[in-house]
Amino acid sequence: MKPSSNIWIRRQQCPCGDWKCYVKYEGDDQTSVSSQLIKNETTSTSSSSEAVFMPYVGQIFKTDEDAFEYYSNFARKNGFSIRKARSTESQNLGIYRRDFVCYRSGFNQPRKKANVEHPRDRKSVRCGCDAKLYLTKEIVNGVTQWYISQFSNVHNHELLEDDQVRLLPAYRKIQEADQERILLLSKAGFPVNRIVKVLELEKGVQPGQLPFIEKDVRNFVRTCKKSVQENDALLTEKRENDTLELLEACKAMAERDADFVYDYTTDENSKVENISWSYADSVRAYTVFGDVVTFDTTYRSITYGLLLGVWFGIDNHGKPVFLGCALLQDESLNSFAWALQTFLRFMRGRCPQTVLTDIDSSLRDAIARELPDTKHVICSWHVHSKLSSWFAPSLGSQYEEFKAEFDMLCHLEGIEEFEHQWNHLVARFGLASDKHIALLFSYRTSWPLSYIRSYFLARSMTAEFYQSLDEFFKRILSGQTCLQLFFEQVGFAADLRNRSKKALQYMHTKTCLPIEENARSILTPYAFNALQHEIVLSMQYATTELANGSYLVRHYKKMEGEYLVIWISQDEQIHCSCKEFEHSGILCRHCLRVLTVKNYFEIPEKYILFRWRLESSLVALEDQNGQCNSDEYAQVFHSLAATLLTESLFTKERFNHVHRELSRLLEHVRNMPVSNEFASNMAANNISES
């Protein structure tokens, strides 16, 4: 429990408000400690059920600890435990003999009676059992090894069954994560019996199935009471000193860079409470990419007791751009409100169109108060990351089926259809009284597509963007960081000069439509790929013109589902009932189909948002002249490939020969060296056909 390192963990308290409810995140090792412990227990039990051979005289081990572990596994399998007894040492060899014995070996030595009126008469489990394993060290060809010199497996007592042997003191362990939880509950005033019940609930195990018993918890709490008080004092001192150092670092940065901004609050004792900061690059980025902002409050520091809030935008390449950072003393409405006020002040009072967050009632209320005109959306990945923790224990084998139906429900387009299918889902899986289902439904206007399809999100809820956020946090968070070092890591990650320059990727055209060629010259590869996908699919849609000049657009195969596209020719306005442009800033396939029918060779200027254009890039792109050269190369290869395909299809023998030679040629080309100049011009992008 040394407060020497700053440990960042995911917030585990469930947003449902129940103190007994903690979230275990899917795929997150650090916050799945409890599940990992259960896994370890299961592994250890399963390993004990495997064949464990009886030790024998002459058996060799690399170290004495290896021998002890081997004998301990054998003992657990056979219904007893062992302990370390005598060790023998010499000047030349050091310790050269180790004695391991049965836990009931020897006899209890009578102790001097304490000077009390009613001394406790404790019964001893020792009964002179002679089961033992003696190790001797030897050096062979300069290599140290240990061998069994004596072994006896004769016991003078009954051996225990599996369900009894796990309760022996040698096998009762309170892991570090459980120790932290026990101390937290103890400090909150929970008695030991309630602490045990809470741990059983959190781990999802039956009463009495924890790897320790109530007595162990009581002894641990008693032993740690003094050290906890001392540790709290150390943590308090460390937090005060380190937050002051962080404040001084902010002041020094402001002196060096006049555009650096920071703010903080203090408590009644003039100690730093909350602190927030941002950089000149971030403020500049916000002017272009501040329309959609993600406020990530996933992590908190268990050393400092501070919540980390980071503001991100999404740039024209689909990557996160750092906008600001806050360290908050708690998760209260006032703390979140201060963070919002400070961020807006940093960004010169301009509010985002949409803000994305995790599920949090205090944060929701703060956004409603401080950003009344901003749309609030719950990130879909935050919802999905909690599903396993919330529903897998109660649904068991039905969980995977539930999850599949839940995913489908999230993507429904109509509100009425969503609510109808929601009621069906709740009834089918018997979740009418489940608190987490009730919580999700109370937030329904903020996370399902049917409710937020008209909110502008700029593609910030894709899996790729979430992975990029995760990579950013891995760069700035580490186990051994004080706040000042953390501040330096954030500054380095936020500095646009540290971003590698992007080489302009070669963007293939997939159709002969002039609209596609025009968009390729304006949009970033990321935005063009998204638009190109819609252009390709638009060719599968039929249009029916209505009397008012609008169009009904439907897929040529799918009879159900049609979209209304409103076309206003006077000022070239186009709107689709699917709301894709309002949602992502990329025109949908239905609008693109209508534009093609109307003989448009370029997308109207207003429908190519500045935020997706090449010219809005925060980091300069490499020389873009390679696009023209790439087009010439592509035409040559297309012509040659078309001729080769025609000739190879005459016979199977021709086809097999061409396939074999092309595979060999491809392997040879891949192994050829590439010059830097040519690579920058021909940095081809693997375009997905899906």
- Confirm whether 622 is domain-assigned: no
Same domain, residue pair 244 and 265: no
Amino acid, single-letter form, for residue 108: N
Same domain, residue pair 208 and 347: no
Same domain, residue pair 322 and 275: yes
Q: What is the pLDDT of residue 599?
A: 93
Q: What is the pLDDT of residue 679?
A: 46
- Confirm whether 102 is domain-assigned: yes
Same domain, residue pair 88 and 149: yes
Higher pLDDT, 575 or 208: 575
Give the range of the structural domain holding residue 242, as residue numbers without chain letter: 172-256
Q: How confident is the model at residue 231 (pLDDT cuts 50, 70, 90)?
A: low
Which of 580, 596, 616 delimits the end of a domain? 616
The model's pLDDT over 61-113, given as tens digits with 9 standing for 90+, comes to: 999 999 999 999 999 889 999 999 989 988 888 899 999 999 999 887 766 66
Tell me the mean pLDDT in the region 565-571: 91
Closest by CA to 356, choosing from 309, 294, 297, is: 294
Closest by CA to 551, choosing from 603, 605, 586, 588, is: 588
Q: What is the pLDDT of residue 114?
A: 57
Same domain, residue pair 486 and 540: no
Same domain, residue pair 153 and 286: no
Which letter does DSSP use for residue 158 in this model? P
Same domain, residue pair 132 and 215: no
CA 57, 60, 61, 64 dihedral sign is positive
Same domain, residue pair 219 and 201: yes
By the 8 A CB rule, do 675 and 668 touch? Answer: no
CA distance 5 to 426: 45
- Around 251, how many Cα atoms within 13 Å sit in the side-chain half-sphere? 7
* Dihedral-angle region of residue 448 (phi above 0 means left; psi in -120 to 50 means alpha; beta otherwise): beta
Same domain, residue pair 367 and 468: yes
CATH code where residue 363 lies = 3.30.420
- Confirm whether 358 is domain-assigned: yes
Query: Cα 629 from chain centroid?
Result: 41
Instruction: Strand 132-140: give its sheet, edge to edge.
Output: 60-61, 143-152, 132-140, 94-102, 82-90
The model's pLDDT over 620-671, given as tens digits with 9 standing for 90+, comes to: 665 444 444 555 566 667 667 777 877 788 888 888 898 888 888 888 888 8
Query: What would the DSSP string read from start to end of 16-82?
Result: T--TT-B---TT-TTT-HHHHHHHHHHHHHHHHHS--PPP-TT-EESSHHHHHHHHHHHHHHTT--E
Residue 220 pLDDT more than 60? yes
Residue 505 pLDDT more than 80? no
- Confirm whether 506 is domain-assigned: no
Residue with tokens 């249009």: 543
Higher pLDDT, 689 or 404: 404
- Confirm whether 508 is domain-assigned: no
- Confirm whether 644 is domain-assigned: no
Which of 616, 643, 661 delimits the end of a domain? 616
Query: Cα 210 from chain centroid?
Result: 28
Query: Tokens at residue 103, please?
Result: 């836990």
Same domain, residue pair 179 and 278: no
Q: What is the pLDDT of residue 507?
A: 79
The model's pLDDT over 431-484, given as tens digits with 9 standing for 90+, comes to: 999 999 999 999 999 999 999 999 999 999 999 999 999 999 988 887 556 888
What stretches of 111-222 adopt beta strand conformation (E)?
132-140, 143-152
CA distance 247 to 481: 16
CA 158, 100, 172, 128 dihedral sign is positive
Same domain, residue pair 488 and 573: no
Q: Specify the pTM.
A: 0.68
- Confirm whether 649 is domain-assigned: no
Burial of residue 673, with CB atoms counted within 10 A of its CB: 0-12 exposed, 13-18 middle, 19 or more buried: exposed
Same domain, residue pair 215 and 322: no
Summary mean pLDDT of the chain: 84
Cα–Cα separations (whole angstroms), residue 444 to 302, 410, 439, 583: 32, 10, 9, 17
- Confirm whether 455 is domain-assigned: yes
Q: What is the pLDDT of residue 446?
A: 95
Which of 256, 272, 301 delimits the end of a domain? 256
Query: Tokens at residue 639, please?
Result: 């012509």
CA 60, 61, 66, 67 dihedral sign is positive
Q: What is the pLDDT of residue 26?
A: 56
The winner for highest mean pLDDT among 360-364, 385-389, 634-638 is 360-364
Instruction: Report the share of the chain in percent with pLDDT over 90.
Output: 50
What per-residue string of b and e applies to 365-393 under the rule 16 or more CB within 10 Å gives b? Answer: ebbeebbeebbbbbbbbbbebbbbbbbbe
Give me the number of domains the chain comprises: 4
CA distance 648 to 655: 5
